[in-house]
Amino acid sequence: MSDEPKTHTPKDSHYARLRRAHRDRTATPGESAAPKRARPHHPGQPGASDRVRLYGLHTVAAALGNPERRLHKLLATRNALARLELDTDALPCPFEIVEPRALDVALGSDAVHQGVMLEAEPLPQRRVADLSQASLVLVLDQVTDPHNVGAILRSAVAFGAGAVISTTRHSPQESGVLAKSASGALEHVPSIQVVNLAQALDELSAQGFQTIGLDSEGAEELEPSFKAGRIALVLGSEGKGLRQKTRETVDVLARLEMPGAIRSLNVSNAAAVALYAARRHLASAEG
């Protein structure tokens, strides 16, 4: 079952606005957008090795509306095209109308594709040095589950995080599963991958970020630990938590105070709670 909200889409919806964005992306000054012709395609064949297959209505809609996303081809059922309210003459890439079974073959029967798949290149990576405008970032210390990372991305977008930083190893790469779990959020928050997390944390500190590692045994509660106008929240992997080097590098180890019998949360839930608290602190500091 899809985790995306089942809502009826009004005429001036997010999907309807995509049609205008498509025309802007494909038209040159003084000209209307040239029609994109459907190209023959065999869904069962693998794409280029450096491409990703994105699927799901919200995921594909967000990717189509992202000017930084390089697109290759769109496969969709007639029903999915209707639900997306796409103007096929203004699509920014070739498309093909297919039957649902073709997408099942291409993506596997477990993929909840909702009748649409977009083949594209991974998004460009940013650097820690690019965070001059950010006041809040998330740092993931080897969080490995793409579903957790996708949920974290959604919370990062919801609370206005400037980036999500992860490690190049022991972290999920961009994929259809991760993008579907993020439900479009992948297109709205910059992703930064680093080889050496401790070095990245030092770089964040040099930029004025207070680096706070979340740990259920942290000496301080999270909210009172906020001291700066720029916050980097650091979350550890499922099960093991923060690595020892990370614990030694952050400015402070803080805990989410939970009076109940369960003293720890899933990493994606902890990220949402911590982001909410950090955003309240930053809003108060700015006020």
**Going by DSSP bridges, is the β-strand pair 116-120/52-55 parallel, antiparallel, or unpaired?**
antiparallel
pLDDT at 138: 98
The predicted structure's pLDDT at residue 260: 81
Structure tokens at 108: 């596997």
**pLDDT, position 38:** 39
Distance CA 19, CA 242 (A): 44
Q: Residue 202: what residue type?
A: D
Cα–Cα distance for residue pair 9/16, rounded to 1 Å: 9
- Segment 140-180, tens digit of pLDDT: 999 999 999 999 999 999 999 999 999 998 888 888 899 99
Side-chain half-sphere of 285: how many Cα atoms within 13 Å? 15
Q: Check residue 287 and give its pLDDT.
A: 66
Predicted pLDDT of residue 35: 38
Can you give the pLDDT at residue 5?
A: 39
Given a cut of 50, the residues of the chain with pLDDT beneath it are: 1-16, 19, 22-23, 25-47
The token pair at 44 is 């069962």
Predicted confidence at residue 145, as pLDDT, reads 93
pLDDT at 215: 93
d(CA 8, CA 134): 35
In the chain the domains, ranked by start, together with CATH numbers, are 14-120 (no CATH), 128-286 (3.40.1280.10)
Q: What is the dihedral of CA 41, 42, 45, 49, to 10 degrees?
A: 10
Helix axes 57-64, 14-26, angle to 10 degrees: 30
pTM of the model: 0.79
What are the φ and ψ backbone dihedral angles of 168, each rounded to 5 degrees?
-70, -30
List, in order, residues 6 or more apart from 193 with CB less than 8 Å away. Answer: 125, 165, 166, 167, 168, 171
Which tokens hold the place of 78? 């007639």
User: Under a CB-based contact definition with an 8 Å cutoff, are residues 189 and 134 in contact?
Assistant: no
Q: What is the largest CA-CA distance in the chain?
A: 65
